[in-house]
Copies of this chain bind each other. A is one copy, B any other.
Amino acid sequence: MKKELYQTPWNFLGLPEDASTPAAQGWLLPIPYESTTSYGAGTRDGPAAILAASRQVELYDQEFDCEPAMEYGIHTVLPMNLVHRSPEAMIQAVEGAVAELLSGAQRPKVLGILGGEHSISAGVARGIARALNPGSLVAVHVDAQSDMREEYEDSPYSHACAAKRILEVCPIFQIGIRNLSSEEAFFLRGCKKVRTVFSEEANDPKGFYLRDLAQFVRNKQVFFTIDLDGLDPSIMPSVGTPEPGGISWERMLEIARTVCANAAQVAVFDVVELAPIPGFRPPDFLAAKLVYKLFSYALRNRKAKNNRSKNG
């Protein structure tokens, strides 16, 4: 078969074979799980929509003046199989898969994950803790909801409890919150392991909290979990609960740059809750571009640090 006659394989960004093998520094795992969603359905179609849109994202990134993905490579893992015995069983499967990927002989430097609903993030956090040093782990969490419920619709593994489950593993820095229950508000006031930046503060042009964020992640291993409804509905309508007053694209990038520039390592990130609207593609494209940016910030800064330590 003459190669030039055919399109590049079906992977994130449509990378050529040699930039998308398991030898790549970035791995991307789709988890099209959706089960406990209460309003609006479709997050199970999120990963496929992001992969499809990513093929239109330009490899060249002006911010780095190069094609970063061609340098570090991204390997698109096959989507996880679903377990529908119970949400808990699925979360355990996610934990197992993440732990196994992070501790394999051949393993990613940065693991990106595409949801599916936010509940998977609990499994992701547990998987990281199992595979890496849990003592230095912290989570940065962009979201409209606080997700600090103990249980929701009779399940502790609902998408509405995602952050509460993560908190059992490590401290959390939340950004963009603008929808919470009184139970959650009460809990947050009393909890020292969570710093919550509500949306007014998150959108303030001065962005003072970015310094706190830099401090929070410094020398830590970071799990970066992004529920896309943290963004403003004008740029991200494809979510189940589109709360007005969210984060802009420019601010989202500032947050990501701050995290990746100051953390010891962003070992894992996930981007969840995209529920594609049929025929309305801009949000899919934005999500794909965000994932690419996250890989680049996490892997390019890492390199810089490695170089520094080598030279230092």
Interface residues of A (CB under 8 A from B): 1-2, 4-10, 34-42, 44-45, 48, 52, 55-56, 58-60, 62, 65-67, 77-89, 93, 96-97, 100-101, 104, 152-155, 157-158, 178-182, 184-185, 198, 232-235, 237, 240-245, 249-250, 277-282, 285-286, 289
Q: A58-B180, A81-B7, A154-B84 are in contact. Are A281 and B41 (CB under 8 A)?
A: no
B234→A245 contact, CB < 8 A: no
B280→A280 contact, CB < 8 A: yes
Q: Of B38, B85, B96, B244, which contacts A249 at CB under 8 A?
A: B244
Chain B residues with Cβ below 8 Å from A78 are 6-10
Bound-state Cα–Cα, A45 to B278, Å: 13
B83→A85 contact, CB < 8 A: no
Which of A34, A96, A234 is packed against the most chain B CB atoms within 10 Å? A234
Bound-state Cα–Cα, A239 to B31, Å: 23
Chain B residues with Cβ below 8 Å from A89 are 86, 154
Q: Of B60, B81, B179, B289, which contacts A6 at CB under 8 A?
A: B81
A182→B60 contact, CB < 8 A: yes
B5→A243 contact, CB < 8 A: no
A38→B82 contact, CB < 8 A: yes
Q: Of B48, B182, B249, which contacts A245 at CB under 8 A?
A: B249
Chain B residues with Cβ below 8 Å from A198 are 62
Bound-state Cα–Cα, A282 to B42, Å: 15
Chain B residues with Cβ below 8 Å from A82 are 38, 153-154
Q: How far in angstroms is the closest Cβ of chain B from A72?
A: 16
Q: Of B34, B85, B158, B240, which contacts A87 at CB under 8 A?
A: B85
Measured CB to CB, the nearest residue on chain B to A4 is: B81
A83→B244 contact, CB < 8 A: no
Q: A87-B86, A88-B86, A93-B5 are in contact. Are A35 and B36 (CB under 8 A)?
A: yes
Bound-state Cα–Cα, A106 to B84, Å: 36
Q: How far in angstroms is the closest Cβ of chain B from A172?
A: 18
Chain B residues with Cβ below 8 Å from A62 are 178, 180, 185, 198
Q: A65-B185, A80-B7, A185-B60 are in contact. Are A282 and B237 (CB under 8 A)?
A: yes
B154→A285 contact, CB < 8 A: no
